[in-house]
Amino acid sequence: MAVMALAAAALVPAGEAMAAPQQKACDTRTNNTYTKLLECIRLDEVREHQAALQAIADANGGNRFSGTPGYDASAAYVAERLEAAGYDVEIQTFDYLAFEVVGPSTLQQIAPNPTTYVEGVDFGVITQSDPGDVTAPVTPVDLQLGLGNTSTSGCDASDWVGFPAGHIALLQRGTCTFELKAENAAAAGAVGIVIFNQGDTADPSRQGIPAVTLTANNTSGIPVLGTTYALGAQLAGTPGLVMRVFANTLRQILPTSNVIAEKTGVNDDNVVMAGAHLDSVLAGPGINDNGSGTAAILEAAEQLAKLNPQNTLRFAFWGAEESGLVGSTNYVNGLSQAEKDRIALYLNFDMVGSPNYIFMVYDGDQSSFPPPAGVPIPDGSVAIEDIFESFYTLRGEPYDDTQFSGRSDYQAFILNGIPAGGLFTGAEVPKTAEQAAIWGGTVGAQFDPCYHEACDTFANNNDHALDVNADAIAFAILTYAYSTESVNGVPGRKVPGNFQIPAPAGPEGTFVP
């Protein structure tokens, strides 16, 4: 316990335990120990990167959407900072199918009992829906209602036997991807889709409008709107239903890029990757989503620039994440198997400073959540979860698990057997009373009240969450820069200094100090 106490004192944020080190010292020295590195991971510097991204958005129509001038300027900013720090930087260009919401969409019940539903309350356009405005009869497809249901609606060929071409398909979330449901519907002759949440649990994320994507691979060619579970169940029981489905979207091919920066290590066949998506949605500048992850790993990279790492360090800033994880998926799928095998692990940081935050770690051991869609989580992911939980334990910060849900850029890595992990402070899900009792904040408000909104600005931030997580990110990268033995069995060196990483507090799940 004495060793842990001394170590914890050494790793208290510099502004709380000592005068901030001189800028010159951090810029010139080699930050090769935990204490030296964390002294130089300063909240003000992380916020400076976020301020730069805000200024870029302000000068480019209020957003940094991939394929627009705002994104290109963001990529140039990141590349220039990394080149100045001495990294080998590659701008990896690619074309992608961009998705854009042009204006309000419409969902109307034409018969019986004409009703116009409210966008954002009853329904929303599904990301990557094709544009379209159709009015037609509605046919439900293989629905299961009620708590505990195991819906596979629209996933199987047998679901579509006898489906009347020219109808709108009423589908339910569950089992397979939204993209597959849409593709199957189009193949069966559907002219539009209304898809409602699964409602298998009382969790708001399974009851509200699905916050999901069809992905950029969607080729269904028909409009797709999502509704709450309650509205979907109501529509399912309405005989003679005729509806209007209008998705007010635009989809087009745009050029964009990933920014990849590398520092070669002694063992260049063992690569440690850390990444964050650089793009915002069209609605706003994206300073938490994901200027927070971008800024934190950019600052870590700059402060590690003079390190002589045992393992090669590679930092990735992904394009087109908001349009379906396109940049990271293109990157991983474009690697040869030999190149994939060189990657020891991937660390993902998407939203790490949410205003109404809780501290969450990707659930590598699946103690709280099953793997996404039955995809096995690579074994080394457990060790990555442990390193972040150990850091929170060291700082006396409560933490909980978050699911490997496939919602961010780690997806392509775990699908290819590469161990992954990372941090998350929450998006559109409301905070519970139990969570507020542990982390403070506002009960019933979203973890990020400005998620995918114009108000995701420089002000949309929690300093404490961002400060702690910036340190946690740097701590993990430095650890793996020296050794990934706990993840993939490749031996390395210990981080210099007299320091022992504590075990995570508790068995698994939430730790309350």
Residue 258 is part of a domain; what is its CATH number? Answer: 3.40.630.10
Burial 185-201 (b: 16+ CB within 10 A, else e): bbebebbbbbbbbbbbe
Number of domains in the chain: 2
Percent of the chain residues topping a pLDDT of 70: 94
Check residue 22 and give its pLDDT: 58
Candidate from 16-30, 142-156, 370-384 with smallest mean pLDDT? 16-30
Check residue 251 and give its pLDDT: 87
**Which residues sit opposite 399 in a β-bridge?**
none
Of 196, 222, 247, the residue that ends a domain is 247
Percent of the chain residues topping a pLDDT of 90: 84
Does residue 263 share a domain with residue 239? no
Does residue 289 share a domain with residue 235? no
Position of tokens 């269904």? 220
Does residue 373 share a domain with residue 241? no
| Stronger pLDDT, 32 or 103, i.e. the higher one | 32
Candidate from 199-208, 212-221, 266-275 with smallest mean pLDDT? 212-221
Q: How confident is the model at residue 507 (pLDDT cuts 50, 70, 90)?
A: low
pLDDT surpasses 90 at 168: yes
Edge-first strand listing for the sheet containing 400-402: 88-101, 249-263, 311-318, 267-277, 343-349, 420-424, 360-362, 400-402
Q: Which two tokens stand for residue 11?
A: 């790793």
Give the CATH number of the domain where residue 239 resides: 3.50.30.30
pLDDT surpasses 80 at 481: yes
Of 247, 278, 304, the residue that ends a domain is 247
Does residue 154 share a domain with residue 110? yes
Q: How confident is the model at residue 259 (pLDDT cuts 50, 70, 90)?
A: very high
Does residue 329 share a domain with residue 365? yes
pLDDT single digits (tens) 402-442: 999 888 999 999 999 999 999 999 999 999 999 999 999 99
Check residue 373 and give its pLDDT: 65
Run of H or E including 51: helix 43-58
Does residue 112 share a domain with residue 91? no
DSSP one-letter string for 284-322: S--TTTTHHHHHHHHHHHHHTTT---SEEEEEEEESSGG
Q: Which domain holds residue 189?
A: 104-247
Candidate from 164-168, 250-254, 457-461, 509-513 with smallest mean pLDDT? 509-513
pLDDT surpasses 60 at 35: yes
Candidate from 148-162, 197-211, 368-382 with smallest mean pLDDT? 368-382
Does residue 111 share a domain with residue 91? no
Q: Is residue 116 part of a domain?
A: yes
Q: Is residue 29 part of a domain?
A: no
Whole-structure pTM over 0.85, yes or no? no
pLDDT surpasses 60 at 247: yes
Q: How confident is the model at residue 512 (pLDDT cuts 50, 70, 90)?
A: very low
Check residue 4 and give its pLDDT: 30
Residue 66 near residue 323 (C-beta atoms within 8 A): yes
Residue 156 near residue 145 (C-beta atoms within 8 A): no
Q: How confident is the model at residue 7 (pLDDT cuts 50, 70, 90)?
A: very low
Q: Is residue 20 part of a domain?
A: no
Q: Is residue 128 part of a domain?
A: yes
Q: CA-based angle 6:36:40, to the nearest 5?
A: 120
Q: Is residue 223 part of a domain?
A: yes
Does residue 122 share a domain with residue 91? no
Contacts of 291 (CB under 8 A, 6+ apart): 49, 50, 53, 54, 280, 285
What is the average pLDDT value for the chain, to the nearest integer? 92
Does residue 227 share a domain with residue 146? yes
Check residue 11 and give its pLDDT: 47
Q: Is residue 73 part of a domain?
A: no
What do you get for the CA distance between the two ends of the chain, in Å?
Answer: 15
Strands 360-362 and 115-116: unpaired
| Stronger pLDDT, 59 or 212, i.e. the higher one | 59
Residues marked as catalytic? 321
Does residue 459 share a domain with residue 352? yes
Q: Is residue 93 part of a domain?
A: yes
Of 221, 247, 273, the residue that ends a domain is 247
Check residue 390 and give its pLDDT: 97
Does residue 195 share a domain with residue 218? yes
CA–CA separation, 299 and 68 (whole Å): 25
Q: Is residue 494 part of a domain?
A: no
Taking residues 216-227, report their average pLDDT: 93
Does residue 474 share a domain with residue 329? yes
Q: How confident is the model at residue 1 (pLDDT cuts 50, 70, 90)?
A: very low
pLDDT surpasses 90 at 445: yes
| Stronger pLDDT, 102 or 319, i.e. the higher one | 319
CA–CA separation, 140 and 159 (whole Å): 10
CA–CA separation, 67 and 502 (whole Å): 44
Check residue 490 and give its pLDDT: 98
Helix (H, G, I), strand (E, B) or coil at 466: helix
